Structure 1
Amino acid sequence: MTAPALALDGVAVDRAEVPVVHEVTLDAAPGAVTVILGANGAGKTTLMDGIAGLAPVRSGTIRLDGKAIERLAPYKRARAGLGYVEQARTTFRTLTVEQNLVVSQQGDGDLGTVYRLFPELEKRRTLQAGYLSGGEQQMVVLGRALVSAPKVVLIDEMSLGLAPLVVRRLMATVGELAGMGIAVVLIEQFANLALDVGSRAHVLRKGRVVFSGPCGELRGDERRLHRLYFGGPPVSAAEAGGAGAAESGLR
């Protein structure tokens, strides 16, 4: 059995000294997409920030490629092989596309791989990032994580504010990252799009994991997702069988 690239054991994370994430245990395998779902305020981004070192881990262990990182500074986690694509799509707006990528390049990170995944960026490599569309800026941020030669990439809500066609384009790239052997941990507002590309899912509610299992168990099951997000009685077999397969907009 392949060892996980990222493993969390009993992780609790605070935000502004307030406990938000409680006793989370999960792992992410290399070459696979691990999906984290939950309603707004469930603690998803706080969990990601805790893994990346941007929020304090109160207890528990985080192992990257078998090595504990929960006490390392964020830049040391990045150097150890952790990439983080945050919500805000932050680029260096006055730098060109290629300059944005080069500042993050390290180790075996290859600009050619980024341009293969995103030929749109190669055509705009000399253009300042501030002139790019939202979708293109997201490609830059994903590319910047890729050229840091990561073992694990955390992706938080990359679809925010983007057209559905662009989201589908980016989601296909997430699958390609996994195909390169990278462990991807994905938070996504469009649950079923994420479940389509993922292999294993975890649902957070009030900072705790309330579901862990194959993505196929949740795909298209709107009633079950809603109850996992917000609480309520278990879903009956009849209800589960009648659930629609429309794309979920649950957050």
Structure 2
Amino acid sequence: MTAPALALEGVSVDRAEVPVIHDVSLDAAPGAVTVILGANGAGKTTLMDGIAGLAKVKSGAIRLDGTPIEKMAPYRRARAGLGYVEQARTTFRTLTVEQNLLVSQSGGGELSTVYKLFPELDKRRNLQAGYLSGGEQQMVVLGRALVSEPKVVLIDEMSLGLAPMVVRRLMTTIGELAGMGIAVVLIEQFANLALEVGTQAHVLRKGGVVFSGPCAELRGDDERLHRLYFGGPPLTTADRDAGPAESERP
């Protein structure tokens, strides 16, 4: 059995000294997409920030390729092979696409790999990032994580504010990243799209894991997802018509 690229054991994370994540254990395998789901306020982003070193890990162990990283500074975690694509889709707006990518380049990370995944960026490599569409900016942020030669990439709500067609295009790329042997950990508001590309799913509720299993067990089952998210009755027709909730940051 392949060893996990990322392993969490009994991890608890605080946000501004307030406990948010409680005793979370999960693995992310190389070449697979691990999906983290949950309602607004479930603690998904806090969990990601804890893994990346942006929120305080109060207890538990986080191992990257077998190495404990829970006490490392964020930049050391990045150097060890942890990439983080945050919600904000932050680019250096006055730098060109290529300059944005070069900022994160390390080791043998190749820009050609990014341009192969995103031919749209190849055509705009000399354009300032501030002139890109939202989808193209998200491609830059994903590409910036890729050229750092990550073993694991955390991706938090990349679909925010993007058209469904663009989201589907980016989801295809998530599968391609996994195909390169990278362990992808994905938070996504469009649950069924994430479950289509994902391998293993974990659902958070009130900071704890309430489901861990194959994505196929949840795919297309909106009523079960609703019960896992909220612990309440199945979805009504009105609930289904309301659409996905917006992202949270506890």
- Runs of 4+ displaced beyond 3 Å: none
Could you tell me how far apart the structure 2 residues matched to 1:124 and 1:20 are? 41
Answer yes or no: is the 8 Å Cα contact 1:93–1:129 preserved in 2: yes
Tell me the residue number matched to 1:22: 22
Tell me the residue number matched to 2:244: 249
Tell me the residue number matched to 2:37: 37
Tell me the residue number matched to 1:242: none
1:167-226 superposed Cα distances (whole Å, 9 cap, x missing partner): 000000000000000000000000000000000000000000000000000000010000
Deviation of 1:228 (Å): 0.3
- Alignment of structure 1 residues 126-205 onto 2, 5 Å: 126-205=126-205
Could you tell me how far apart the structure 2 residues matched to 1:30 and 1:64 are? 11
Tell me the residue number matched to 1:65: 65
Letter in 1 for 2:183: A
Tell me the residue number matched to 1:218: 218
TM-score by length of 2: 0.94
Deviation of 1:94 (Å): 0.4
Answer yes or no: is the 8 Å Cα contact 1:226–1:250 preserved in 2: no
Could you tell me how far apart the structure 2 residues matched to 1:113 and 1:181 are? 14
Letter in 1 for 2:137: Q
Could you tell me how far apart the structure 1 residues matched to 2:108 and 2:34 are? 24
Q: Secondary structure at the match of 1:103?
A: helix
Tell me the residue number matched to 2:93: 93
1:128-155 superposed Cα distances (whole Å, 9 cap, x missing partner): 0000000000000000000000000000
Deviation of 1:107 (Å): 1.2
Deviation of 1:232 (Å): 2.9
Letter in 2 for 1:172: T
Q: How many residues align?
A: 241
Identity of aligned residues (%): 83
Could you tell me how far apart the structure 2 residues matched to 1:17 and 1:55 are? 10
TM-score by length of 1: 0.94
Could you tell me how far apart the structure 1 residues matched to 2:90 and 2:200 are? 28
Letter in 2 for 1:180: M
1:66-111 superposed Cα distances (whole Å, 9 cap, x missing partner): 0000000000000000000000000000000000000100012110
Deviation of 1:250 (Å): 5.0
Could you tell me how far apart the structure 2 residues matched to 1:26 and 1:107 are? 29
Q: Secondary structure at the match of 1:26?
A: strand
Could you tell me how far apart the structure 2 residues matched to 1:132 and 1:144 are? 15
1:8-28 superposed Cα distances (whole Å, 9 cap, x missing partner): 000000000000000000000
Q: Which ranges of structure 1 fall in alignment gaps of 5 or more residues?
A: 240-244
Could you tell me how far apart the structure 1 residues matched to 2:192 and 2:232 are? 21
- Alignment of structure 1 residues 109-128 onto 2, 5 Å: 109-128=109-128
Tell me the residue number matched to 1:55: 55
Q: CA RMSD in A?
A: 1.5
Could you tell me how far apart the structure 2 residues matched to 1:108 and 1:186 are? 25
